[in-house]
C-alpha cells in the first residue's frame, strides 16, 4: 500500500511538473500550427542529402553512414527553395548508436551527432533557413533508445533499468509481434529497441526538459515526433498529459507518427498534439494511383476524415517517406505519380515531399528508399522537379490553404475537387489510358467564366449553361483557374 501511495504521489508530481514546463514553454521561439498551414515541407535524411565537400560519388553501404551533413544542406538550400519548398524536416540530431545514420538510435540526448556536424553547424543551418523565410522541423524520438539490449550504461541520461519498461509482459524476445495488442505496443520493444518508461518521473521530466531545450537552443519551428502510440498510455486519459506536456514544452507545431491505416485510430491522437501524419490517406492514395484501385476510395477516406479528425488542415499529407518503398518502386508510370503528387500538394493538409521524389527515385524497402540525393547532381531540369516546382509555386500564389476542399466529381477513374477558385482534376488511368471526359455541373463558377490549365495555359474551357467539360488525355492531371 505504501509503495502504491508513493507511486501515486510521484505521478502527481510528474503531472505538476508537466504543467509547469508547459507554462515556461510559452516564451519559446515558436511557429504555430496555423502558421505551418501555408508551408510545403521537404523531408530529407541529413545523412543522405548532401556532403559538405560537394562529392557526388555513390554510397556503397546504405545501411551505414554515407556522409551527408548540416553544411551540405546549407550549401544546397537554393535547390530546395527552387523546388518551391519553404520548410525542411531533418533527421533526429542527437548522438546515435553505431550505424544510426537515420537518427532513431539515440545514445546521448545532450550532444549533436558528430557525423552530421557540430552544434555551430546546426545553428548555422537554422539561421540560413530563417534568412530565406524557411521553417525547420526536427525529428525527435521519446519512445525508445538505441539497440543496446540491456546494457543501459551506454545511454545518456537513461542509464538504469528502472528507466525502461520491463519485459515481463512481453513476448520472449521482448519485441512487439502483435500490433493489435495495445499493451505490447505500449510497453514492449519496437524492433528490439529498449522502451522508455515515461511514467517514471525522472524519464518524463527529463524528456520534457530536453525537448524544450533543443527547440529553444536551435530555434526550431516544428517537431516531428516518432512512434506516438508506442508510448504507454498515449490514448488513455490517465497518461495522456505526457504528450500534451511534450507538445507544450516544445513550444512549436508538433506532428506525430501514427503508422496505421485506421482513420478513427489515427485521429484519436490529434487531441494530444497538434497533428499527425496523414497515414490513412497516404495508404488510400497509394492504392488509388499506384495500384489503380477505384478513386471512390478517396471520397470515402475524405468523408471519414471529416467525421473523425479535429482539424484536417494541419495534418501532414504525403505519398512517400523513409519508412515505405517509394511509389515508383511499385508503379513506374510517372504520369500516375504526378496525379498522386498533385493530390498531395493541393488537397487539405500540409504537404510533405520526400527528398528524391523530384528526381524520380524508386528505392524499395528501407534502406533502399534512402538513396543519396547527391548522385542526381541536384538536377533541376527533370520532369518531376519541374512538375513539383510548378504546383508548389501555384499553391503559394493561390493560397489554397485558406479554402476548404470541396469534392466536385468522383467515380472509379476520375476525382475532382476545388479549393476556392482552384479546380483540380485527377485520374488513375495512367499514361496509356484512353481519353476521359467528364461534364462538371457542381462547381463555384458563373456562366462565362474561362478556366485555363496551369500546365498548358492554352488549354481552356468556358462555363456554359452552368457546366463545363474536363478532358484528360493519356492519364494527365489538370489544374484549372479562372482567367
Report residue 268 as a C-alpha cell: 484519436
Q: Pick the catalytic residue: 139, 257, 290, 320?
A: 257
Catalytic residue among 86, 139, 195, 226: 226
Catalytic, 226? Answer: yes
Whose cell is 551506454? That residue is: 154
Q: Residue 331 and residue 291: Cα distance in Å, rounded?
A: 8
**Residues 461, 483: contact at Cβ < 8 Å?**
no
Residue with cell 489544374: 479
Does the annotation count 476 as an active-site position? no
Which residue shows C-alpha cell 542527437? Answer: 94
Distance CA 117, CA 403 (A): 41
Q: Which residues are catalytic?
A: 226, 257
Amino acid at each position: 500500500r505504501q509503495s502504491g501511495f508513493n507511486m501515486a504521489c510521484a505521478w502527481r508530481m510528474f503531472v505538476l511538473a508537466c504543467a509547469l514546463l508547459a507554462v515556461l514553454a510559452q516564451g519559446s521561439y515558436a511557429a504555430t500550427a496555423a502558421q505551418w498551414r501555408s508551408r510545403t515541407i521537404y523531408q530529407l535524411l541529413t545523412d543522405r542529402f548532401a556532403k559538405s565537400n560537394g562529392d557526388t560519388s555513390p554510397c556503397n553501404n546504405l545501411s551505414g553512414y554515407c556522409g551527408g551533413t548540416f553544411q551540405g544542406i546549407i550549401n544546397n538550400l537554393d535547390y530546395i527553395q527552387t523546388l518551391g519548398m519553404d520548410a525542411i524536416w531533418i533527421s533526429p540530431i542527437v548522438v546515435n548508436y553505431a550505424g544510426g545514420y537515420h537518427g532513431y538510435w539515440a545514445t546521448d540526448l545532450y550532444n549533436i551527432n558528430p557525423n552530421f556536424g557540430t552544434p555551430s553547424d546546426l545553428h548555422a543551418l537554422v539561421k540560413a533557413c530563417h534568412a530565406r523565410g524557411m521553417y525547420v522541423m526536427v525529428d525527435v524520438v521519446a519512445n525508445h533508445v538505441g539497440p543496446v539490449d540491456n546494457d543501459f550504461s551506454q545511454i545518456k541520461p537513461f542509464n538504469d533499468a528502472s528507466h525502461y519498461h520491463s519485459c515481463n509482459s512481453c513476448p520472449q524476445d521482448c519485441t512487439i509481434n502483435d500490433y493489435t495488442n495495445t499493451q505490447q505496443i505500449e510497453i514492449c520493444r519496437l524492433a528490439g529497441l529498449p522502451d522508455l518508461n515515461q511514467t517514471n518521473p525522472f524519464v518524463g521530466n527529463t524528456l520534457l526538459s530536453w525537448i524544450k531545450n533543443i527547440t529553444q537552443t536551435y530555434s526550431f519551428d516544428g517537431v516531428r515526433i516518432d512512434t506516438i502510440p508506442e508510448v504507454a498510455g498515449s490514448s488513455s486519459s490517465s497518461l495522456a498529459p505526457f504528450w500534451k506536456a511534450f507538445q507544450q514544452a516544445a513550444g512549436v507545431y508538433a506532428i506525430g507518427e501514427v503508422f496505421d491505416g485506421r482513420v478513427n485510430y489515427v485521429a484519436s491522437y490529434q487531441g494530444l498534439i497538434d497533428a499527425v501524419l496523414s497515414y490513412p490517406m497516404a495508404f488510400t492514395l497509394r492504392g488509388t494511383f499506384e495500384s489503380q484501385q477505384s478513386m471512390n476510395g478517396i471520397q470515402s477516406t475524405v468523408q471519414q476524415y471529416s467525421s473523425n479528425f479535429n482539424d484536417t488542415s494541419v495534418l501532414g499529407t504525403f505519398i512517400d517517406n523513409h519508412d515505405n518503398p517509394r511509389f515508383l518502386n511499385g508503379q513506374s508510370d510517372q504520369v500516375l505519380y504526378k496525379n498522386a503528387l498533385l493530390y498531395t500538394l493541393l488537397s487539405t493538409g500540409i504537404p510533405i515531399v520526400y527528398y528524391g521524389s523530384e528526381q524520380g527515385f524508386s528505392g524499395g524497402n528501407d534502406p533502399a528508399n534512402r538513396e543519396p540525393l547527391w548522385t542526381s547532381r541536384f538536377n533541376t531540369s527533370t520532369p518531376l522537379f519541374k512538375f513539383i516546382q510548378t504546383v508548389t509555386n501555384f499553391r503559394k500564389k493561390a493560397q489554397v490553404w485558406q479554402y476548404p476542399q470541396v469534392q466536385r466529381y468522383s467515380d472509379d477513374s476520375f476525382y475532382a475537387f476545388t479549393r476556392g477558385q482552384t479546380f483540380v482534376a485527377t485520374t488513375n488511368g495512367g499514361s496509356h489510358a484512353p481519353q476521359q471526359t467528364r461534364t462538371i455541373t457542381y462547381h463555384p463558377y458563373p456562366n462565362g467564366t474561362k478556366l485555363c490549365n496551369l500546365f498548358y495555359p492554352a488549354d481552356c474551357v468556358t462555363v456554359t449553361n452552368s457546366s463545363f467539360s474536363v478532358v484528360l488525355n493519356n492519364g494527365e492531371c489538370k489544374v484549372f483557374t479562372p482567367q
